[in-house]
Amino acid sequence: MNEWQKELMKVTGDMEESKERVKKRVLQQQVIKAKKPIRFTLLTAIVTFCLAGFVLVQLLNEKTKQSSNVFKDTQLTHFEKITRINWGKQDEGFYTKEAFERYKNVVAIYYYAKSLGLHYSEAELKAVRNEHYEELVRIQKVPEYAVLFKEEGVEKYFRKYLEPLLPMYTAKTKLDTFYLEKYPTFPKGIVQEIAAQDALRYFDKHFAEQAKTFEEQNGIKNYYSSSQGIMYLGTVIKVEVEPNAFLFVEGVIPKDLENLSQEQIVKKYPKATWYPVLDDFPVKQGDYVRIESNSNQSIDENGIVTHYGVLNNVVISEPTVTTKLNIQNEQEVMQFFRQTEWQPAKDIATLPDYSFMLEGVRIDVWLSHGQSLYLNKVGYGSVHLSQKRSEELMKILGIN
């Protein structure tokens, strides 16, 4: 041992014994795992439970916050007040459901316009503000609406209920202008409905959870959108790229339109309707499709009537599911139909079971309940035969 080691031992003492104690303690700890007191284990469980509860509350609060960021109770109240005036006496649940539908439409348009990058200026917002304020001043003179301002007055009511909606109404103006440029050949009313329909489709895709949460918070049950429309079955005649539209003829299959010009088709099928071509529902000329529409409008220009519709959905179908009948006893069939009075055609939601040609005109046949027949004579109308008459026609046509 050298001199500096000796001097160190004078200060610290002999460390050999201490080293052995430490060594034994370390080895013992590796073999024996100390037990935690029961109180410590219980405390750990309580703390873990509290933390889990705290996280859950935060998540729920965040979900509620997201809903409140999209919808506001105050604005729903405004729409409910208007609904009560416009609809008169109804079930209590009706007012809230109808009010929410109107409110949701306004909110959907705002977020859809925002997604398209449509921005408005302060001047545009101010113009919309003046327009809605002046409208409020006008309706306060109408007895039915005077009740809205009885407690708060026009100024306070406007600030409380309408002012938060102004960005949404301004966005609607921008979206309508955008869609009028997109569908230049369509009437304004139909274009506005197309824009609103697209906005709802976008909103339901991206904000469904927020809408559901708001409905639950306000006790809105069994809410169904009024966007569901009427089903039509027919053929796409023409697709116009520039006006983003296609011409549709209900009740005909592609084969019916062979060798016919557009002018001949429109003359033969005067109810041919223009629908918008939507990004999610592409179609091409000659497609046999089932479409869903909840609105249409006709425009008469110099005696020429053009039909337009709002499109909810399009499904490509196969016309080959219909059995084609080859009529050999044409005179007998013609004699049968001389006793038939054709009525205005009803909406057709399914493909016909049978189809045949008579004097150059197609007649579609559907088997109805109780083996009765429903017939549609293209361009003439439809008729629902009694069971007795149906059995007679089935025998003539050879339908088993």
CA distance to 19, 122, 132, 136, per residue, from 159 (Å) = 81, 17, 11, 11
C-alpha to C-alpha distance for 163 and 171, rounded to whole angstroms: 14
348 or 253, higher pLDDT: 253
Which is more confidently placed, 336 or 268? 336
Highest mean pLDDT among 40-54, 105-119, 135-149, 291-305: 105-119
pLDDT of 126 above 90: yes
Query: If you average pLDDT over residues 373-400, what whole number do you get?
Result: 90
Whether residue 148 has pLDDT greater than 60: yes
Nearest to 314 by CA among 211, 225, 182, 197: 197
> Contact at 8 Å (CB) between 83 and 106?
no
Does residue 201 contact residue 312 with C-beta atoms inside 8 Å?
no
**Average model confidence (pLDDT) across the chain:** 81
Output the pLDDT for position 67: 46
Q: State the pLDDT confidence band at 302, using cuts at 50, 70 and 90.
A: confident
- pLDDT tops 80 at residue 239: yes
For 186, residues 6+ apart whose C-beta sits below 8 A from its C-beta are: 194, 243, 245, 274, 276, 308
275-293 average pLDDT score = 88
Predicted confidence at residue 128, as pLDDT, reads 97
Look at residue 118 in the predicted model and tell me its pLDDT: 97
The CA-based dihedral angle spanning residues 276, 278, 284, 285, taken in that order and rounded to the nearest 10 degrees: 0
Q: Determine contact, residues 108/199, Cβ cutoff 8 Å.
A: yes
pLDDT band at 144 (very low <50, low <70, confident <90, very high): confident
Query: What's the pLDDT band for 280 if we cut at 50, 70, 90?
Result: confident
Write down the pLDDT at residue 332: 94
In this predicted structure, the answer to whether residue 179 has a pLDDT above a threshold of 90 is: yes
Residue 13: predicted pLDDT: 39
pLDDT per residue as tens digits for the range 203-229: 999 999 999 999 999 998 755 544 467
pLDDT at 170 exceeding the cut of 70: yes
pLDDT in tens, 57-114: 454 444 444 445 899 999 999 999 999 999 888 888 899 999 999 999 999 999 999 9
For the segment 184-197, the average pLDDT, to the nearest whole number, is 94
The whole-number average pLDDT for the span 345-359 is 79
Fold of domain 230-318: OB fold (Dihydrolipoamide Acetyltransferase, E2P) (2.40.50)
In this prediction, residue 62 carries a pLDDT of 44
Q: What is the pLDDT of residue 347?
A: 64
Average pLDDT over residues 18-39: 44
Mean pLDDT of all residues in 367-375: 84
* Predicted pLDDT at 278: 82
Name which residue leads in pLDDT, 123 or 225.
123
pLDDT band at 33 (very low <50, low <70, confident <90, very high): very low
β-strand partners of 239: 246
